[in-house]
Structure 1
Amino acid sequence: MRDNHARVRSSDVVCLATHSYVPAIAAEWVQPGTHVSSVGVAPPGGELPIDLIARGKLFVETRDSFAPTPVGCCELANIDPEAGTDLGAMLLGLRPGRMSDQQITIYKAMGVAMEDMVAADLAFHGAKLLGVGQAISL
């Protein structure tokens, strides 16, 4: 766990993809300016620390993310939907995205695996083209 603490603290992007019933990281490990994506699901708990949401800006695919499981995300069950920004609303300019380079951003996916695979592929190939990023084996 100590290695994970150091890895998260030194990362600009943290991707959670587990079947953990408890948070996979601690909210206090996440530094200002970090982006955290959470794609795993394991009701009734989940991998995303709920107290991290209060420290950052939450993005979701749809308002259905706040519905009770199995429709929504278990981590968001008691969160006010106004705390989240729909990706579509942000892309259309109806709601703001990241407000500063110090803001923590959080994306909680609903578990549509094909969307996650396409997004990961785009990010990987984009980073490879730019010659940026670092692969870390856990």
Structure 2
Amino acid sequence: MKDAADAAAIAIVSEDVCKEVVSRADAFEAVEKVFAAMARGDAYNFPVIREAIGHADALYGFKSGFDRAGLVLGLKSGGYWPGNAARGLTNHQSTVFLFDPDTGRLRALVGGNHLTALRTAAASAVSIAHLARRDAKVLGMVGAGHQAQFQLRAAAEQRRFERVVAWNYHPDMLPKLGAVAAEIGLPFEAVERERLCAEADVIITIGSSTEPQIMADWVKPGTHLACMGTDTRGKQEVDPALLARATVFTDEVAQSITIGEAQHAVAQGLIGEDAVTPLGRVINGDHPGRTGDDEITLFDGTGVGLQDLAAAAVAMARAVESGKAQTLTL
């Protein structure tokens, strides 16, 4: 007799359904919980595979892990196709596969594009919630691509910002970010980078640069930076000397020092691995986080697979509960 488990349905959660069932608050809670679980040793990521495939200038790879506390097991497969914008597509393309940790059977296929942007913004928002000064008034945005809009919306919910200053390598992209700021009621101004650093209390960098966009001596005391664009060897958003000035936090230390923003400061001997602290330790109360108003704090958001899995697990549960998931069997 055929095992009934062999006929278990697999949930298919589309990009459109993900947009319907997962909110920014959901993503924030999921990411905050998984950071805390990682710091406790209850969740861990597997080594990242990320390679240039030699076609379409694309980067492709896998991020995976297991959250023992939340019983979430799976992987995200996808990458970055820089020519997609000209095709009317998102440059970042991915799909999340969730498996039953008790049996290893496939439980769900979840669209990963929207969730990637949502969880990346949630990670920087979690860092702002735990590390930025309470009296932060000016938000600085370095980058104006697709993910920057998610970053702006999520950050604006963490502090009572009074205005936004922004810079982008391609200035013609800034009006779209300005429209998001206007939608949420924040004055917006395009400025040069040095002025941005002089005025901003919180700075989010979200690009694909391979050279510093912000220099160490531009950043004023008390600033919190969320560096969210560096997730591959060779990428870089800020001057390595800035990490030596700052108190540095990250999602995962191993990624931070090898493929994250800290890779350059470590390689130059400006900081050691022990200078980078998992943000989960602050969430769990094991580290004080910011200790003074003049302290510069920096979150190196490398983008761990467990963030994707946490967001996808929420999407799967909500989609199944609401009857919005499609199903199939293998």
Question: Please, what TM-score do these two structures have when normalized by structure 1?
Answer: 0.71
Moved more, 17-26 or 38-47: 38-47
2:260 to 65, 73, 93: 73
Residue of structure 2 equivalent to 1:21? 210
Give the CA RMSD over aligned residues.
2.5
Residue of structure 1 equivalent to 2:242? 52
1:44-81 CA-to-partner distances (Å, cap 9, x unmatched) read 1411221001111101012222453xxx3154252422
**What fraction of aligned residue pairs are identical, expressed as a percent?**
29
Any conservation in 1 of the 2:250–2:279 contact (CA below 8 Å)? yes
- SS of the counterpart of 2:192? helix
Moved more, 94-103 or 107-116: 107-116
**Amino acid in structure 2 at the alignment position of 1:76:** Q
Q: Report how far residue 113 of structure 1 moved.
A: 9.4
Residue of structure 2 equivalent to 1:92? 284
In the alignment, structure 1 residue 7 sits paired with structure 2 residue 199: no
Moved more, 72-81 or 31-40: 72-81
Structure (1 or 2) with the larger CA radius of gyration: 2
Any conservation in 1 of the 2:226–2:299 contact (CA below 8 Å)? yes
Any conservation in 2 of the 1:45–1:75 contact (CA below 8 Å)? no
**How far apart in 2 are the matches of 1:46 and 1:90?**
25
Any conservation in 2 of the 1:57–1:103 contact (CA below 8 Å)? yes
**How far apart in 2 are the matches of 1:43 and 1:33?**
29
- SS of the counterpart of 1:47? strand
What does residue range 96-107 of structure 1 map to in structure 2 within 5 Å? Answer: 96-107=288-299
Any conservation in 1 of the 2:227–2:261 contact (CA below 8 Å)? no
**How far apart in 1 are the matches of 2:229 and 2:306?**
13
Q: Report how far residue 40 of structure 1 moved.
A: 0.7
Q: 1:29 to 1:62 in 2, by over 3 A?
A: same
Moved more, 12-21 or 59-68: 59-68
Gaps of 5+ in 2: 1-166, 168-190, 309-330
- Name the structure where strand makes up a greater proportion of residues: 2
- Runs of 4+ in structure 1 off by over 6 angstroms are none
Q: Report how far residue 95 of structure 1 moved.
A: 1.7
Q: 1:115 to 1:27 in 2, by over 3 A?
A: farther
**How far apart in 2 are the matches of 1:59 and 1:84?**
5
**How far apart in 1 are the matches of 2:197 and 2:306?**
26
**Amino acid in structure 1 at the alignment position of 2:211:** V
Any conservation in 2 of the 1:44–1:74 contact (CA below 8 Å)? no
Question: Please, what TM-score do these two structures have when normalized by structure 2?
Answer: 0.31
Residue of structure 1 equivalent to 2:180? none
Residue of structure 2 equivalent to 1:82? 274
